[in-house]
Every structure is written in C-alpha cells, then in structure tokens.
Homo-oligomer: A and B are copies of this chain.
C-alpha cells in the first residue's frame, strides 16, 4: 500500500516564492540568519549547544532591557510563550486582571480561564490604551493576584505604557505579565525600568528571525513566587521549573531543543548587537515617521493616536469606499507584498502593515508607499479628493 501511495504522490523540492513581508510578522529575514540555519545540528545536551543558549540569553537581556537571570527561550511560537507565562503564573481559582484592548488581550484572558482563574477585564476600544489613572483604579479595586496587558497590540497598532500598571500591581501584591511579542527588537521594551515581572515574545517580528521560538524573561520576584507555588502546572512542556533545570545549572534533560532555530535566533540577535539596539530602535522610529508621513500625504489616516503608536506595526484606516481585500490582493498578486487586514471590531476598517527588520529602510518604505498608493487606487480610492478632505 505504501509503495502505491508513494507513486501516486506528485511532490518535489520546494521552491518558495520571495515575498516582501510587510505584514505584522513573520518579517523578512537577513541572509546571514538563513546561512547559519544550515550549519550542522548538534545534540540538545552538547556543551556547544549550551554555549549557544548562554550567548542568546546575554543578547536577549539587552533587547529586553533586563538584568533578569532567567531570560531564555521556549521551544514554541509566541503563543507558546504566552501559554508558558500564563500556565506557570496563573493558578486555579486565582484572580487575574486583564487590561483588554485587542485580540491578544482576549487570547490572554482565554488562556487564564483555561487555567481555572477568574478573569476581570478593563475594556477599552480596539486601538486605544488605558490611562494610568484608569489602570491604577481598576487594579486597586480588583486586587488580583496577576495583572496582564499587551505592550504592543498587533491587532490594533496601539502601544500600552506600563509603569503605572506595574506600580499599582505590585502595591496590590500582584505579578505583571506583559506581551511584548511585537515590540521586542524594534522598540525599547524596558522590562526592568517598567517593572514587568514576566514577558514573552516571538522570534519572527522585531527580532526578524523565522518563527518557531519564544523568548521569555522572568523577574527574581516572579521566579521566587514560582518556587513557592503548591499546585502543579497542567502543562509539563511549558513548566518553567523543569525548563530552568534544563537551560541552567544541572542541564537536566527536558525536551529536545532544536539547534537550527537556536542558531538562527543567535545570528538575528547578533545582527542587532552589531547595529546597536538603540540604533535599531531609532531606525525603526525613523522609518515609521517616514511611513506615516507618506500615508498622510495620500490622505490616509492612522487609526491610533500619534502618542500611542507602535512604531513597527502601523494600522492606517481603510479610506471610505475602498475595498480593503482588493488592495491586499493587488499588492500580493502584483508584487508579492504581504500586508494584513484588521479583524474583530476592526475587520475591513484598518490595514496592518509592518515595517521592521531588513525592510525598515528609507528605500523599502518609499517603494512600499508607491505600490500601496497604486493598490489603494485599484481598490477604489479617489486619491486627490480624499487627500484634500484628509488634511
């Protein structure tokens, strides 16, 4: 039977198309990152492998802006990082306060419920953030064990500051879990300065590595809380106590971490170190300003208020009368450019356009804006009229 099956298959070596990844992630990958992925695999207990992870930890501390000893990598995607943070720090029957202003806040809430927690939410419209006063009042009133928020909401384009949240949470004795999936590597996420206890990210956005790994960082306070936890994590795979013993100290076997992806993350981080993290953040900010200026010149408006924007993930509003699916398919079919639409309450209302990593250059932004302008027209946009109205 197998022989027959094999003969029927018409499959050959992949020839992936070259896309220009201007979506919210994955982003374009530097050739040096691809190059290192083809280096020979070593075992997951090889001393060389732990040299690689140790160097990754050091570089991650720089981009996270933290001195946390426990700053390492989960063998899963960004959502695996989210599940790691939540399954370890949200206990059954505990109370979790979520500052809810987008899709990934909803995902955090859902995961916390699956751990058996009571979830209370401070709701904000998608694209807005909560003020210091609102967050403080909410946390003081609810007195939760854990507070969760998304720093850079990929579904809306909004950046949530966290200092007041962390202060109020710590005052109430709560830990703070923060999603920095979209910001890490492209913006300063300032873990220690903000007071964040647990933060997770992904490899394929600001770090510009292929998807598959989830960096995570855990404050000493949170690590201590973890050691004192008396209930068992439902997840064995994401159990940080076991993972701590694998990446540190005894290097006790847990799972078979995959060398190739770790090589890739190592090189992606090294590229950031060579450029300088500050320089990289500044480059992304510059490209963001260029991008927004170009959009506004077309009469297109940004969904998020200027002071709350994520710099590497933009959410321009779909102009009235424009078929947003047509715009996206025009870019994709004619230029291999991937951007994404909005979803949930923002479905059909915004585009989600990433400008990060190797594509965050003046030339790439200028070229994108040109193609985007034409695609908008193909989608029914009357440029001159709207431009006049928009200014």
Measuring CB to CB, which residues of chain A are less than 8 angstroms from any residue of chain B?
A: 1-3, 5-6, 9, 11-19, 21, 23, 25-26, 28-29, 32, 34-44, 46, 48, 52, 55, 58-59, 61-62, 65, 75-80, 82-83, 87, 107, 110-111, 114-116, 202-204, 210-212, 232-238, 254-261, 263-264, 266-267, 270, 273, 276-278, 338
Asked if A202 and B256 sit within 8 Å, CB to CB, the answer is yes
Partner of A204, one of B9, B79, B232, B258: B258
Q: How far is the CB of A332 from chain B (nearest CB, A)?
A: 9
Asked if B58 and A210 sit within 8 Å, CB to CB, the answer is no
Query: Which chain B residue has the least Cβ–Cβ distance from A29?
Result: B41
Q: How far is the CB of A54 from chain B (nearest CB, A)?
A: 10
Asked if A256 and B44 sit within 8 Å, CB to CB, the answer is no
Q: A9-B273, A32-B13 are in contact. Are A19 and B42 (CB under 8 A)?
A: yes
Partner of A12, one of B6, B114, B257, B270: B270
Max count, chain B CB within 10 A of own CB: residue among A35, A39, A59, A211: A211
How many Å lie between the Cα of A19 and that of B259 in the bound state?
A: 12
Query: Which chain B residue has the least Cβ–Cβ distance from A36?
Result: B14
* Sample of 29 A–B contacts (CB below 8 Å): A1-B65, A3-B276, A6-B276, A12-B270, A14-B36, A14-B39, A14-B263, A14-B266, A16-B41, A17-B48, A18-B40, A19-B40, A19-B46, A26-B44, A26-B256, A37-B38, A41-B204, A44-B211, A75-B80, A78-B256, A79-B236, A83-B237, A87-B234, A110-B236, A114-B236, A210-B258, A212-B212, A234-B234, A260-B264
Asked if B43 and A257 sit within 8 Å, CB to CB, the answer is no
Query: Which chain B residue has the least Cβ–Cβ distance from A20?
Result: B40
Query: Which chain B residue has the least Cβ–Cβ distance from A74?
Result: B76
Q: Told that A6-B276, A19-B46, A75-B80 touch, could you supply 6 new A-B pairs with CB distance under 8 A?
A: A9-B55, A9-B273, A14-B263, A83-B236, A116-B234, A237-B238
Q: How far is the CB of A226 from chain B (nearest CB, A)?
A: 16
Asked if B2 and A65 sit within 8 Å, CB to CB, the answer is yes
Q: How far is the CB of A91 from chain B (nearest CB, A)?
A: 12
- Chain B residues contacting A52 (CB-CB under 8 Å) are 14
Asked if B21 and A210 sit within 8 Å, CB to CB, the answer is no
Query: Which chain B residue has the least Cβ–Cβ distance from A202?
Result: B256
Q: A77-B258, A260-B37, A264-B260 are in contact. Are A273 and B114 (CB under 8 A)?
A: no
Q: A35-B38, A75-B77, A114-B234 are in contact. Are A43 and B338 (CB under 8 A)?
A: yes
